[in-house]
Amino acid sequence: MVPCFPALRHKVHFLVKMCDIMKQVQQKHIVLGITGGIAAYKAAELARLLVKRGITVQVAMTEAATHFITPATMQALTGNPVLIDQWQDDKGMAHIQSTRIADAIVIAPATADFIAKLANGLANDLLSTLCLARDCPLLVAPAMNKQMWSNAATRRNIQQLIADGATMLGPVSGLQACGEEGMGRMLEAAELARDILTLLKDSDLLDASSLIRSPEERGLKGVKVLITAGPTYEAIDAVRGITNRSSGKMGYAIAQAAQEMGAEVTLVSGPTALARPSGANVVDVSSAADMFAAVKQHVDDADVFIGVAAVADYRVLQPNAQKIKKNSGNLTLELTPNPDILAYVAALPEAPFCVGFAAESENLHEYAEQKRLAKKLPLLAANLAQHAIGADDNELTLFDDEGEHRLPRTDKLTLARALLLHAATLYQKGKSHEKN
């Protein structure tokens, strides 16, 4: 029986809770697939981090991968025999059973060759067979030369994998083994481990990940965040409209990063081809007026508002209900300004903490700071539109009362995390001032 000392009872209760969580986490099983790329060395650290968090890791390697890192190393780190050859014992195809108990298969690194296999359903070695016969999510961490990454065939294969339900983890832009610099570098092991835990958040790993992360990384726990993302579409007639080239990738990355930090996310999204972020309350809209209405509906519950959407500045004053027939003459459209959603939210009597975005084509610093001051925003993130729209990577300059803070070019999810860490610091500082 525990003595009646409150501090001791609390400590015992905490230890019991920790034991329960670790027992639950230990039930999780991940197949870590390693293919033949120089980034295979990062798989050793990834395996170590996952095992440290109580996850059972079963490594499966291609023959090419064994030229970069040894099976003995991976067996020592995971405590499990490494699978390489589907005929390596008398059970033959029984290795397929590895996927039946797996919560996910993670391919890290995933070479261009192996991605092509996955996209086309090939199963000519053990690892590709495991992936094709899986009954669990597939997470893919690409790693390759920048030319391979940008090749049209690789782009098609990536899009096919996404369409088939696979989740891409990275890549990022950085220095590559060939000495060049560009997109194609695999995420670091710590980033991959965090993403894996986040993507399995429907499991008991969610509670474990909240214990693992630092207080700074959980700086939005319980905070209600309202985000706008993507383009808007302004109808001209029944079939035509005015829109822009925004892909929505940055807004969706911010939604994921906010969830990682513990926020309750509502995402108001214009038309995009992106997968809906799991766990977020997604409100689909089309026009700027639709987006404005959705924001007004949800803003009263928001603690933080992040306006990432590329909202059309103008709309057609009188769109035609039927298709306008083509003729040899000119067509004149009368445009009228759309509402400024960010300005409206920032001017509310009890406005949430507002983060604005500015995409400029020139004079970035001058125009961005002018916009921040005019709308009385505590934080504004700005970039050159011609370097960001539709791309998987970006760079941002943050403007606040303390000045400018540059976030160097990297993938948009990494940028989103850095942006939100800065925003959370300002938000929490503002809340502290309110209490005082």
Whole-number Å distance between alpha carbons of 403 and 358: 16
Q: Which of 219, 223, 193 is nearest to 208 (CA)?
A: 193
Write the single-letter amino acid at 286.
S
Q: How many other CB atoms are found less than 10 A from the CB of residue 287?
A: 22
Peptide bond into 6 cis (omega under 30): no
Considering just the CA atoms, what is the radius of gyration of the chain in Å?
Answer: 25
Number of residues that make up the chain:
436
Q: How far is CA 339 from the centre of its chain?
A: 29
Q: How far is CA 217 from the centre of its chain?
A: 15
DSSP code of residue 69: S
DSSP code of residue 28: -
| 3-class DSSP assignment, residue 302 | coil
Q: How many other CB atoms are found less than 10 A from the CB of residue 248?
A: 23
Tokens of 125: 């070695």
Tokens of 116: 């092509």
Q: What is the DSSP annotation of 109-136?
A: EE-HHHHHHHHHT---SHHHHHHHT--S
Tokens of 245: 């080239």
Q: How many other CB atoms are found less than 10 A from the CB of residue 73?
A: 16
The set of catalytic residues is 178
